[in-house]
Chain A
């Protein structure tokens, strides 16, 4: 089998006049955690749904696990797990009943079913709640149950659509541990998120913005490209310093974090001296320091670049 789990070319989805996903090219290697980073409405869910055959693309070719989608979508369904954005297990069935139902529906044999469900209950720390109705679980428990349900048939490929949007930070950390466990066992995972810290944990990631794939690569590769363009400004009056920098042609973005400003400069003309000079002129007492770029910077650059491109006259 090839080393590529998902391969998509020119993937496009239009809903009437609206282009939800625009000519996305995607390549997801096997046994890796691949992140989809993007704000709400950037086309993450639509892309995932097209990849698992739930939506028919308007244009483009998809090959998932060597199968052509959407033509071979039914065959694909035995090999994938899908955890929807909204909790989609049955609120009015117990934890065990939910898992047993999914196991049967996914075609597990009667003998396999019992041991698999027991195993999952233990592994996802739900064994003390197996008789509880799924609807009465806490956010973190629901999410663990949903994950258990999505992998009950040991899928090769797992799609997770914003799995952690409704849980607390500790549950999120815990959840990601489980994901890496699965990836270690050879499962390919495609996960969408709008949390930077989660994106940073992925082996590879793609940034989506208004339906366009604007950047992809490993987190290190992506941040590496911005080296030397990010600065930290400590000023007595941060608001004043921000005013001095906002709107300057060489400054891409200024974000205030407490009493500090994080400044991202445009490619080519990033210099710490220019920044200092600018601040002195404005009379802002400030210390400037060069800092390593993070994914948030990558995100700003990627989405901004795209917006600039669109504004250019054709």
Chain B
């Protein structure tokens, strides 16, 4: 491989990119737009959820606990009920989406260390459910606000949908979704465009090697991917206070793995697609399962077996586990080596296939 040649291809690619306003807009606009869209949906449902309370204990302690929950602003009291059954009725009628039941033996349960308060959630609304799940799942190290309540034995039972999800999950996942959306498409299109415009016929009659051509075209986009990652992280932390509990280095390593995986997949697509439109169609073919099956929207564990198998083949699935682990649970890349290795293997296979399938010939 000739480094000067590689450099020339990269510079050429960046120069072309600078003049391509739409792609540039996509690089910057897409992460911001998605983050704001997803992010503010999260923010909205954190406030003023209609709630009902049935306090059957009526002790000073139980009243204080309910007041604390209301003070968080996540829920707003709309009705009081006499029994859990009435709460369920209110939920079913859709008049409230969160119901808090304090059993008559509240004080006793608390002393015994059993679950003392039950929060019932309208699980048919995913958004409500995740917000309410947060009532019980907030980090434990902020003693003075509502989140400290989580230390108390409160159990959340989600009706109609047993899966609990935290909105904080969305931002780390969003890094992966945006990278999948843009990286695969950019590389696939970048190469097919040259074929379409006839540039490729010229390039392959020069002494440029396949590897130089592929790597030279891909590296600029890898850099762009890291810029996008930084943008989403910065905005996520700044606007939505998303925690990064693991090391930043691990976050970027995981992002780099996903970027390279997507770029090599894009390269592979580019060797098969005949036009930019075809490249786009093929990208979509990968993108949709990635969104649906990676665990970004629906939990992996709830999927039927065949869907799980497909899911394991998607780089986004592995990234989703890595990034949530690193950012939210403070895990390291080493702790999650299964997924790191899976991504590395994906890159190796795709890149080998792509270079194999790319010929410096027209037939």
Contact = CB atoms under 8 A, between A and B. Distances in A.
A54 B205 contact: yes
B361 A56 contact: yes
Contact of A105 (B19, B20, B208): B208
Contacts of A52: 205
Nearest to A106: B206
Interface string B8-33: 11011001100110000000000000
Could you tell me the dominant secondary structure of chain B's interface residues?
A: helix
Interface stretch (B111-119, B195-203, B342-350): B195-203
B213 to A, nearest CB: 9
Given A55-B361, A86-B198, A77 B12 contact: no
B197 A104 contact: no
B362 A105 contact: no
B16 A77 contact: no
B183 to A, nearest CB: 21
Interface string B296-335: 0000000000000000000000000000000000000000
Interface string A84-102: 1011111111000100111
B23 to A, nearest CB: 11
Given A77-B207, A82-B202, A56 B16 contact: no
Contact of A55 (B7, B15, B197, B362): B362
B8 A101 contact: yes
Contacts of B11: 101
Contact of B202 (A73, A80, A84, A97): A84
Nearest to B209: A74
The CB with the most chain A CB atoms within 10 A, among B4, B16, B204, B205, is that of: B205
A225 B294 CA distance: 75
Contacts of A88: 197-199, 201-202
Contact of A78 (B16, B198, B203, B207): B207
A49 B362 contact: yes
Given A55-B362, A55-B363, A104-B8, A92 B202 contact: no
B5 interface: yes
A60 to B, nearest CB: 15
B206 A77 contact: yes
A107 interface: yes
Interface residues of A, number: 33
A38 interface: no
B18 to A, nearest CB: 9
Given A49-B362, A55-B361, A101-B12, A77 B205 contact: yes
B141 interface: no
A107 B208 CA distance: 9
B201 A91 contact: no
A100 B7 CA distance: 12
Interface residues on B, range: 20 to 34
B2 interface: yes
A54 B204 contact: yes
Contacts of A211: none
Nearest to B363: A55
Nearest to B4: A104
A35 interface: no
Interface in A188-227: none
B164 interface: no
B360 A74 contact: yes
Give the one of A49, A100, A101, A149 with max B CB within 10 A. Answer: A101
A53 interface: yes
A84 B201 contact: yes
Interface of A: 49, 52-56, 70, 73-74, 77-78, 80, 82, 84, 86-93, 97, 100-102, 104-107, 110, 133, 149
Interface of B: 2, 4-5, 7-9, 11-12, 15-16, 19-20, 197-199, 201-208, 360-363
Given A54-B361, A86-B201, 15 more contacts: A49-B362, A55-B361, A84-B202, A86-B198, A90-B12, A90-B199, A92-B15, A93-B12, A93-B15, A97-B15, A104-B4, A105-B8, A105-B9, A106-B206, A107-B2
18 contacts: A53-B361, A54-B204, A54-B360, A54-B361, A54-B362, A55-B361, A77-B207, A88-B201, A91-B197, A92-B19, A93-B15, A102-B206, A104-B5, A105-B5, A105-B8, A105-B9, A107-B2, A149-B202
